[in-house]
Amino acid sequence: MSAKRVTSHDVARLAGVSRTTVSVVLNDVQEIKISPATRQRVHSAARMLGYVPDAAAQALVSGRVRIIGLILARRPDHISSDAFIPQILEGLLDTIHKHDLRLLIDIVDPEHQEKAYLELVRANRIDGILLSGPLTDDRALRVLEKEGFPTVIIGHMQKSDLCSVDVDNRAAACLAVGHLLEMGHTRIACITNAPLTYAAATDRLGGYKETLEKATITYDPALVRYGDFTVESGYRQMCSLIADQVPFTAAFIASDTLAVGAISAIQEHSLHIPGDIALVGFDDLPAAKYTKPPLTTIRLPTAQLASRACDLLIRLMNMEEPVNGRVILDVELIIRASSGPRNMR
Amino acid sequence: MSAKRVTSHDVARLAGVSRTTVSVVLNDVQEIKISPATRQRVHSAARMLGYVPDAAAQALVSGRVRIIGLILARRPDHISSDAFIPQILEGLLDTIHKHDLRLLIDIVDPEHQEKAYLELVRANRIDGILLSGPLTDDRALRVLEKEGFPTVIIGHMQKSDLCSVDVDNRAAACLAVGHLLEMGHTRIACITNAPLTYAAATDRLGGYKETLEKATITYDPALVRYGDFTVESGYRQMCSLIADQVPFTAAFIASDTLAVGAISAIQEHSLHIPGDIALVGFDDLPAAKYTKPPLTTIRLPTAQLASRACDLLIRLMNMEEPVNGRVILDVELIIRASSGPRNMR
DNA sequence: TTGTAAGCGTTATCAC
DNA sequence: GTGATAACGCTTACAA
């Protein structure tokens, strides 16, 4: 069936040297001087045979597998439409390739994340973990933290000293709502991206409240709805807002996904965006540019988040104590047509 | 730093047995009878110590790493907005988990795919390969084919006997264009999803031509444009079609991504969809449901494609010669508002 | 400078 | 039934 494996032994024999020499030459060990001639012979023998060292053998002896584990905590029914996953991958792959690492990916249900990654670690399948998603601070994670296993969170986790790379969701929400204030709106509704058990949802709602307070606008719970990740929930909650007849001229939708649903709801009620209701979303998903009208939103630097997290992780893996275990990246307000000035009717 | 690794030795000692017994018990080797009492002792010792066998050691001795490699051939600048990636992952993960496998993912530039996966194979990092994307039939791939390394293509590759799971792009295009014919259109434009060097693009264009021919409509090259994966190219090519003033009342856009751009172009020219130009897309991306108007399109069973490919691969890995090396899955025409009947002006 | 030998943690083959 | 012992392919002291 498949051709017999080429081992360092074969290379050694062809080059007329010992396996040690092969290893030394190919790993470019500086301490040991090898004559250029031998070096050359080894290299060409290796190339000729198409020799690639066995990863398992290397791992067994070195204790490192050169694989990073990316654990995505996602609800199973939301994976297929998760626009962040490709962005995270994009951010990761450059760095990973540059360091000659590989990426092992696993998606776990946030409800039962527990052992998924602990087993990866225990089996020595990965040298470090990148975590993304709505994480609960579970036992497994605390074990890793205590053991000092290289771990970086893309996003945030409460009550944890693990390294993380995140945006300031609260400040970002302030930016979004502040923009609506500037456009002259004072009755601003809010639909959260998720239930408040999710930290990001709480933070974004917190930013919303804070901005209103600063502008001495009383917080009105009647203008707030709680979303649930999906387009449908955006649609539903916007319908609910409109149906309640509590007047508002703008809305901060803490997720573009939900905003798409909200737009649909608004237009079904024959209301105009931004004339009747101005909209600001959150995330700047690829789709945001192509909604009708294009959606003003907060751009999340997802790829950079991932790439910075990866850098941090690699430093942890190399035992260089990271200078800064908590990185906060800036977001950007992307102004498009959905957030026009208040309609002067 | 991190706690010392728990080995089978530790488990053996705690259970008061030999390492062999530990291995036999934990791997549930049927041929060797172990007394229930010892069995029990081993299990509880393992659980107590949190023992997980070292993957590298297992791999070294068994020759299998229990990892599947997913190679995505993608242009680097298109990764972040590739809506297929999450769908593929979704299709894969169930099967992978069920078989206690892991997923190693790598994204390679289609231009320089060559060695990326060959090295993974040579280093024994993966037991099988899943390939997705516009593949060129490169040398590396032919080597793997000759060696009989378990490989399955999600999609299609010309001149290759590798296993694959795909849709019939030509038939799918026929479905799309046929629908437009049924709606009374006879002047139907076409924008391909990609340059014709990509097999899927050729096939879809072929289906377009075939359907017209069957309806005895002469193929008019002036109505055909060649897209290039991006929203922008969809926009540009639709502008070009409109600018040329060759009359048409409908268009088959062989990718939803491009269709989004095309919609934008049409509306910028103050034309109405479907009144002035009816549209059918291809792929049924998550966004298709939320364009304005919602996009009629061909639903690609991406997740199933991936999951079937994974099944096939696992059978290959287990040396069970697959019954059927070429699987073709059905597509579905999703009729939404963008493909209304011809405007009776 | 190069080769010899030990050991990484597991599984598999045997005697016991 | 159970326990030594030999592989798997590599790296790395250490010896030559």
CA A61 to C1' D12 (Å) is 10
Q: Are residues A75 and A149 in the same domain?
A: yes
Q: Are residues B54 and B95 in the same domain?
A: no
User: Does the CB of B16 fall within 7 Å of any strand D atom?
Assistant: yes
Q: What is the mean pLDDT of residues B16-30?
A: 90
Q: Are residues B222 and B261 in the same domain?
A: yes
Q: Are residues A135 and A216 in the same domain?
A: no
Residues 6+ apart with CB under 8 A from B151: B128, B129, B131, B141, B144, B145, B162, B163, B313, B316
Answer yes or no: is B2 within a domain.
Answer: no
* C-alpha to C-alpha distances, A225 to A78, A215, A262, A297, A340, nearest whole angstrom: 21, 21, 12, 18, 22
Task: Please give the tally of structural domains in chain A.
Answer: 3
Q: Are residues B291 and B193 in the same domain?
A: yes
CA-based nearest residue to A164, from A140, A194, A200, A189: A200
> Residue B36, CA: closest nucleotide via C1'?
D1
Q: Are residues B233 and B99 in the same domain?
A: no
Q: Of the candidates B23, B38, B62, which is a domain's last residue?
A: B62
Q: How many residues does chain A have?
A: 345
Q: Of the candidates A62, A89, A106, which is a domain's last residue?
A: A62
Q: Are residues B108 and B192 in the same domain?
A: no
Phi and psi angles of residue A52, each rounded to the nearest 5 degrees, phi first: -130, 125
User: In the predicted model, what is the mean pLDDT of chain B?
Assistant: 92
CA A332 to C1' D5 (Å) is 65
- Residues spanned by the domain of A150: 67-167+302-329
Q: Are residues A212 and A287 in the same domain?
A: yes
Q: Are residues A40 and A187 in the same domain?
A: no
Residue A342 has pLDDT above 70, yes or no: no
- In this structure, what CATH number is given to the domain that contains residue A44? 1.10.260.40
Q: Which of residues 44-63 of B touch strand D (CB under 7 A)?
A: 57, 60-61
User: Does the CB of B49 fall within 7 Å of any strand C atom?
Assistant: no
Count Cβ atoms below 10 Å from residue A131 Cβ, excluding itself: 24
Q: Does B26 touch chain A (CB under 8 A)?
A: no
Interface test with B, best of A54, A92, A118 (most B CBs within 10 A): A54
Cα diameter, chain A: 90
Tell the burial category of A135 from Cβ atoms under 10 Å away from its Cβ (0-12, 13-18, 19+).
buried
Q: pLDDT value at position B340?
A: 82
Q: Are residues A50 and A85 in the same domain?
A: no
Q: What is the mean pLDDT of residues A334-341?
A: 92
Give the Cα separation of A80 and A282 in Å (integer).
Answer: 20
Give the Cα separation of A4 and B155 in Å (integer).
Answer: 30
Specify the 3-state DSSP secondary structure of A130. Answer: strand
Q: Are residues B216 and B276 in the same domain?
A: yes
Interface test with A, best of B26, B54, B70, B285 (most A CBs within 10 A): B54
Q: In what order do the strands lie in the sheet with A188-192?
A: A224-226, A188-192, A250-253, A278-280
Tens digits of residue pLDDT in A187-196? 999 999 999 9
Q: Are residues B51 and B141 in the same domain?
A: no
Q: Does B157 touch chain A (CB under 8 A)?
A: no
Answer yes or no: is B1 within a domain.
Answer: no
- Where do the H-state alpha helices sit in chain A? 8-15, 19-26, 36-49, 55-62, 84-98, 114-122, 139-147, 169-182, 199-214, 231-243, 256-268, 302-317
Q: pLDDT value at position B321?
A: 72
Tens digits of residue pLDDT in B244-301? 999 999 999 999 999 999 999 999 999 999 999 999 999 999 889 888 899 999 999 9
Tens digits of residue pLDDT in A33-58? 888 888 999 999 999 999 999 999 99
User: Please, are residues B121 and B139 in contact by the beta-carbon 8 Å criterion?
Assistant: no
CA-based nearest residue to B131, from B156, B158, B100, B161: B156
The tokens describing A119, both together, are 């087993």
Tell if the pTM clears 0.95, that is, is over it: no
Answer yes or no: is A2 within a domain.
Answer: no
- In this structure, what CATH number is given to the domain that contains residue B92? 3.40.50.2300
Answer yes or no: is A3 within a domain.
Answer: no
